[in-house]
Amino acid sequence: MVDGLVGDQLYDRIGVGYAATRGEDPRIASAIDAALGDARTVLNVGAGVGSYEPRDRELVAVEPSQVMIRQRPPNSAPVVCASAEALPFGDASFDAAMAVLSDHHWRDRLQGIRALRRVARNRVVLFNADPAQAGKFWLTAEYLPQFVDLVPEPYREPGHWEAELSRALGDLRLVSVPVPHDCRDGFYGAFWRRPAAYLEPAVRRGISVFAQLDRAPVRQGLARLRSDLETGSWEARHAGLLDLDELDLGYRLVIAEITV
C-alpha cells in the first residue's frame, strides 16, 4: 500500500484526468440535493472537481489538492484551498456543510467531521460507503481482498462508523443510496454490473483504491477478472446481478440536523 498518502497528497499524485471518469450521476445528485433540504448557503468539503455541487444554492468549496482545483469547471463555485480538519470559517457560517466521497481520505476523519458540525447552522450531509461493508462487494471479495486492509481496524466492525458519526454529529439519519447499473460517476462500486470496465486503465485512474494498493496484487486480481470474463465464470457466478437496475453496496447518505 502507498503509506502516508492521504487527501491532497494522494490526489496531487493520481488526480490528473480524474474528471474524465468521475462525472456526476444525476440520481445520486438528486438524493444529495434532497438531503440538503432548505439550506441556502452550503459548504462542500473535499469538493474535488465540483461534482454534486447544487447550482441553485450559494456554495463555497473546500479542496486541498491543486491538481483537483485546476480541473474544476470555469463556472463552478468559488473554491478555498484548505483541509477539512482546519476549515477557515467561523462557527455556524453556513446553513449546511456537505462532503461527498471524501471523508475517508482526510488525515483525521473525526476531526474533519467535527469541523463540518462547527461551521453548519442547520445540518451536515455526508455521502460515502459504510466501511464495514467494504468486503462484501464482489470486486473486493474475489479479486482485491487487500482493499479491506485499507480500512482502519475499528471501521471494519459493523456499527462503528455510524456510532462515531453519531458521537460527532448528534442524532442522524442514514439513508441507503443504491448504485445504478449505469452510474455516471466512476467510483469504486459504480461498475458492479459492468465488470470489464475495471480492466480499463482510465477507469482505474479515477478510483483511488487502485493507487493505494500494491501493484502486484492488483495485477494478479485484474488478470483473474479478465480470465473469468473470457471464460464466462464471472457471469455464471453473478448472473443474478445482470437483471438488476440498482444494487445496495453500502453507500449511505448521512443527514444530521443541528440542534442548539
pLDDT of the residue at 10: 52
- Asked, for residue 1, whether it belongs to a domain, the answer is no
Confirm whether 223 is domain-assigned: yes
pLDDT at residue 23 in the model:
87
For 255, phi then psi, to 5°, come to -125, 115
Domain range for residue 217?
7-257
Say which residue the cell 464466462 belongs to: 232
- What is the grid cell recorded at 36? 440538503
Give the chain's domain count: 1
Phi-psi region of 128 (alpha: psi -120 to 50; beta: other; left: phi over 0): beta
Please indicate, yes or no, if residue 183 is contained in any of the structural domains: yes
2 domain-assigned: no
| 260 residues of the chain, pLDDT tens digit each | 233 334 445 555 554 556 778 889 999 999 999 999 999 999 999 999 999 999 999 999 999 988 889 989 999 999 999 999 999 999 999 999 999 999 998 999 999 999 999 999 999 999 999 999 999 999 999 999 999 999 999 999 999 999 999 999 999 999 999 999 999 999 999 999 999 999 999 999 999 899 889 999 999 999 999 999 999 999 999 999 999 999 999 999 999 999 86
**Grid coordinates of 5:** 498518502
For 144-173, give one letter per residue: b (16+ CB within 10 A) or e.
bebbeebbeeebbeeebbeeebeebbeebe
Q: What is the pTM of this model?
A: 0.91
CATH number for position 82: 3.40.50.150
